[in-house]
Homo-oligomer: A and B are copies of this chain.
Amino acid sequence: MHKLADSTDAADMMDKPKKKRAAAQLKDEITAYKRRRILEEASHFFFANGYEATTLDSVAEQLNVTKPFIYSYYKNKGELLYEICQTGIQLSLTALEEALSVEGTASEQLKIVVERVARIIIENQRYVTVYLREEKCLLPEDARRIRELRHTFDTKLAALLERGKRSGEFDVQHPSRTAIWVSGLLSWIALWYHEGGRWSATEVVMDAITMVQKMVQPAGGARA
C-alpha cells in the first residue's frame, strides 16, 4: 500500500504527459492485483496449515510463480501475515460502522450489526481465523495496531449497548464487558463454522442474532 502510494505520487505525475500517466495508473492497478492474489493464496495456506508451517515456496507454487516474485511485492513473510490479520479485523470493523450508520432504535441497529458482521466473518473466514489464531506471530508494533482496531470495534459495540441500556431496550449491567462477550460470540463463528457442514451460513447468522438478542434482552422478554 505505501509503495503503491509512493509511485503514483503527485510530484511524479504533474510534469508527465497524459499517456505516461495512464500507463502508470494501469501498472499500479496490476501491481495491486498481484498483491491481492498473493495475499489470497497465502491466507488459504495460513488458514489450513498455520503461519509458521506455511512455506512461501508452496504459496509461490500455487500461484505458478517463484519465491522471489513474492518478495518483490512483499518485504517479508511477516508483512503478509500483518496484511491478512489487518484485513480480518478491518472488514469486521467496517461492517460494524456501516451497520451503525443505518438509522434505527438500539435493538434494530444491534440486529443489523450482528447480521452484517456475522456475514462478513463467514465470507472472510480465512482472514478472520488467521487474525484470531496467529496474533502472537506478529511483530510487537504490528500486533499493537491490530489490537487497536479490535479495541475500536469493542468500544463502538459497547456504545451501542450503552445506548440501548439508557433507552431501556437492553438489560446489560456492564456494557463494555457485555460487548466483549458479543464480539467473542461473533469471533467464535470464524473458528467453528465449516462451509458445507451441518448448518448453513444463513442458519448460523440467524442463530447469532437470536443469541445476541437474548443476551441483552430485559427480563420481561423481547418485543416484536
Show the binding face of A for B, using Cβ within 8 Å: 48-53, 132-134, 136-137, 174, 177-178, 180-181, 184-185, 187-188, 191-192, 199, 203, 207, 211, 214-222
Contact = CB atoms under 8 A, between A and B. Distances in A.
A192 B64 CA distance: 39
A50 B207 contact: no
Contacts of A48: 136
B177 A184 contact: no
A218 B217 CA distance: 11
Given A177-B199, A214-B214, A215-B215, 9 more contacts: A133-B133, A178-B211, A181-B188, A181-B211, A184-B185, A184-B191, A185-B185, A211-B215, A219-B222
B220 A53 contact: no
17 contacts: A49-B136, A50-B51, A50-B52, A50-B134, A52-B53, A53-B137, A133-B133, A178-B211, A181-B211, A184-B185, A184-B191, A184-B192, A185-B188, A187-B188, A211-B215, A214-B216, A214-B217
A184 B188 contact: yes
A217 B220 CA distance: 11
B132 A191 contact: yes
Contacts of A191: 132, 184, 187
B180 A192 contact: yes
B184 A50 contact: no
Contacts of A134: 50
A199 B221 CA distance: 28
Contacts of A177: 199, 203, 207
A197 to B, nearest CB: 11
Contacts of A49: 136
Nearest to A203: B177
A52 B192 CA distance: 22
Contacts of A51: 50, 52
A48 B135 CA distance: 11
Contact of A50 (B137, B188, B215): B137
